[in-house]
Chain A
Amino acid sequence: MTAPSTTHTSKPAVDYLKIPATGEPYLAGCVCDSCGATYTGTRKVCAHCSARGQMRDIRLAEHGRLYSYAIVHRSFPGIEVPFISAVVDLDGGGTLKGNLMDIEADPEKIQFDMPVRVVFRDALGRKDKDGNHYLSYFFVPAD
């Protein structure tokens, strides 16, 4: 829940995670001014209404609610399990998938629609072949 120690020297784990030279990391998205559809990242044409030139860059909210999830007990070799794969609807639009952390991986403990918060942390110690650290986003239960 603490701020990542490596923020400004880490690379983003996804291209829509922005790490400004100064200030806090954030998730970039865009919204269609024609129909209101919201997306992570940037795009030129709206997949919903097919409008062109109507996409406006926004910052995605860092609060949302748990829409669906799975508890992953077996994954690819080398991937630590169990983890909760969570689908979260962000307040104000946009849906993200990510790990839900700081809660027991037990269906009895996980409630649909529970409020969650987006946090930015080191990417579970994963480094690329050049030894670079990465920053990723995670979900934690909101207080």
Chain B
Amino acid sequence: MNDEVYVVGVDMLKFGRFPDRTVPDLGAEAALLALDDAGLDIRQMQALYCGNLFQANGMVGQRILQQIGQTGIPVVNCANACATGATAFREAWMSIKAGVHDVALAVGVEQMGRGLLGGGGGNAGIPTEGLLGGGTMPTVFAEAGMEHSRKHGTTFEQFAKVSVKNHHHSTMNPKAMYQVETPLETVMNAEMISYPNTKLMCSVNVDGSAAAVLCSGRKVRELGLTDRAVRIRASALTSDPWQERNLVMPDVNTCTRIAADAAYEQAGVGPEDLDLVELHDCFATAEILHYENLGLCADGEGGRFIDEGHATLGGRTPVNLSGGLLSKGHPLGATGIANIYEVVTHLRGNAGARQVDGARLGLTHVIGLGSACAIHILERV
């Protein structure tokens, strides 16, 4: 058993579109960056946990080692929808926590196509999209947002403000896909995809990768990495408990709430202690739900939370300072490690113009539809 597990190295590629590169190539680059950040070598890694969704049967982790050093270590390839990267990170954490390893590498990587995700389905010989309602991701999350509207009166404008905020934050993040201020009128007048989500309220499909080196407390001291180390105070993973509308309406709320409860309990902290949060804004509608699901505000107060600027840099709990999935971009398998990069960067005081002053405690959250929720709480030591 290892009581304490730390992140000692972490990095990500600037997200973008790299059609001429391969998934292992992108993953290998992030892996080397994270190793460099830790000042360690692939020969010191005792295991690799690799997250990738669209080549889940493609042994991506081994193909990364073929590029950076085939040392014979155990490799686990995992896929868990948009929670894929966070799941790989958590597997590395568990292996160290269990005392099986003292140093492990986690990589998340994805190459995305363009266009709408989701849909498919139906066992008839005809397409069911637009026949049995809609199954695209913008539609699924529009319906989740409208559920919030029916309960709390949340407006199209409030949802749109999330996108304005996250685009604003990304102007200060050189690793985001976009660095463009995007005013409210621009967001609301963009092409409507699935009301109430316009095109600028949908995450950006990009390619990218991120990686982290995790280490036991004993090994951190042995390697002299205390200055680089950020403590993992909690790691929680849940699936979606039964809900009466599950068959047609994936529930991203309950799995987040039980993961948050578990994470806060593990860490012995509450949402009021957090200095920043990177949460799963796959669509602007989703972010407001998660303010409440993570306890950043009371139920029904999510609309006010965005209106009053509490989630903006300088606010009570800044959310998605990286620009979030809406502007930094969302390479599915990489997202759950890229958000850890963002939080660690703040905890180390290296976040430049978007730095949260004196940041000590941060939370990352991802949702894989279907559903999986992963939450990590990280602390500066």
Known A13-B131, A39-B247, A112-B150; judge A76-B136 contact (CB<8 A).
yes
Alpha-carbon separation in the docked complex, A74 to B147 (Å): 21
CB <8 Å contact, B130 and A75:
yes
Interface residues of A in 77-105 (CB under 8 A from B): 78-81, 83, 85-87, 89, 95-99
Contact digits for B241-263, partner A, Cβ 8 Å, 1 yes 0 no? 01011111100000000000000
CB <8 Å contact, B122 and A81:
no
CB <8 Å contact, B126 and A13:
yes
Q: Inside 8 A of A69's CB, which chain B residues have their CB?
A: 143, 146
Q: Inside 8 A of B126's CB, which chain A residues have their CB?
A: 13, 123, 126-128, 134
In this complex, what residue of B is CB-closest to A70?
B142
Interface residues of B in 148-186 (CB under 8 A from A): 149-150, 156
Alpha-carbon separation in the docked complex, A97 to B134 (Å): 8
CB <8 Å contact, B123 and A15:
yes
Alpha-carbon separation in the docked complex, A39 to B247 (Å): 8
Alpha-carbon separation in the docked complex, A48 to B124 (Å): 27
Q: Which of A12, A67, A79, A98 meets B124, CB within 8 Å?
A: A12
Alpha-carbon separation in the docked complex, A70 to B192 (Å): 11
CB distance from B161 to the nearest CB of A (A): 18
Chain B CB within 8 A of A40 CB? yes
Chain A CB within 8 A of B46 CB? no
Interface residues of A in 125-139 (CB under 8 A from B): 126-130, 132, 134, 136-137
Known A70-B146, A73-B193, A75-B116; judge A99-B247 contact (CB<8 A).
no
Known A73-B192, A95-B247; judge A48-B130 contact (CB<8 A).
no
Alpha-carbon separation in the docked complex, A98 to B247 (Å): 12
- Chain A residues touching B, majority SS: strand
Alpha-carbon separation in the docked complex, A87 to B119 (Å): 16
Alpha-carbon separation in the docked complex, A26 to B119 (Å): 25
CB <8 Å contact, A13 and B132:
yes
Total count of chain A residues near the partner, CB < 8 A: 49
Known A70-B142, A85-B143; judge A13-B122 contact (CB<8 A).
yes
CB <8 Å contact, B143 and A68:
yes
Alpha-carbon separation in the docked complex, A81 to B192 (Å): 11
Alpha-carbon separation in the docked complex, A48 to B195 (Å): 31
Known A76-B129, A79-B127; judge A70-B143 contact (CB<8 A).
yes
CB <8 Å contact, A74 and B193:
yes
CB distance from B62 to the nearest CB of A (A): 34
CB distance from A143 to the nearest CB of B (A): 22
Alpha-carbon separation in the docked complex, A124 to B132 (Å): 11
CB distance from B358 to the nearest CB of A (A): 41
CB <8 Å contact, B131 and A136:
yes
Known A73-B193, A87-B143, A95-B248; judge A48-B132 contact (CB<8 A).
no
Alpha-carbon separation in the docked complex, A69 to B339 (Å): 30
Interface residues of A in 48-82 (CB under 8 A from B): 48, 67-76, 78-81
CB distance from A24 to the nearest CB of B (A): 20
Chain B CB within 8 A of A37 CB? yes
Chain A CB within 8 A of B125 CB? yes
Alpha-carbon separation in the docked complex, A1 to B167 (Å): 46
Chain B CB within 8 A of A107 CB? yes
Chain B CB within 8 A of A142 CB? no
Alpha-carbon separation in the docked complex, A39 to B246 (Å): 10
Q: Which of B125, B194, B242 meets A85, CB within 8 Å?
A: B194
Contact digits for B93-129, partner A, Cβ 8 Å, 1 yes 0 no? 0000000000000000000000010010011111111
Chain A CB within 8 A of B139 CB? yes
Known A14-B123, A95-B247; judge A74-B132 contact (CB<8 A).
no
CB distance from B148 to the nearest CB of A (A): 9
Alpha-carbon separation in the docked complex, A70 to B139 (Å): 6
Known A68-B146, A70-B194, A72-B136; judge A126-B123 contact (CB<8 A).
no
Chain A CB within 8 A of B191 CB? yes
CB <8 Å contact, A97 and B132:
yes
Chain A CB within 8 A of B39 CB? no
Q: Inside 8 A of A124's CB, which chain B residues have their CB?
A: 130-131
Known A75-B134, A87-B249; judge A134-B124 contact (CB<8 A).
yes
Closest 6 CB pairs of A and B: A128-B125, A70-B142, A85-B133, A85-B134, A71-B195, A97-B248
> B residues bordering A, Cβ < 8 Å?
116, 119, 122-134, 136, 138-139, 142-144, 146-147, 149-150, 156, 191-197, 242, 244-249
Kindly list 14 other residue pairs between chains A and B, CB separation below 8 angstroms, not including A67-B245, A79-B127, A95-B249: A11-B125, A13-B124, A13-B128, A15-B123, A67-B150, A70-B138, A70-B142, A71-B194, A72-B139, A85-B133, A87-B143, A99-B133, A113-B150, A134-B126
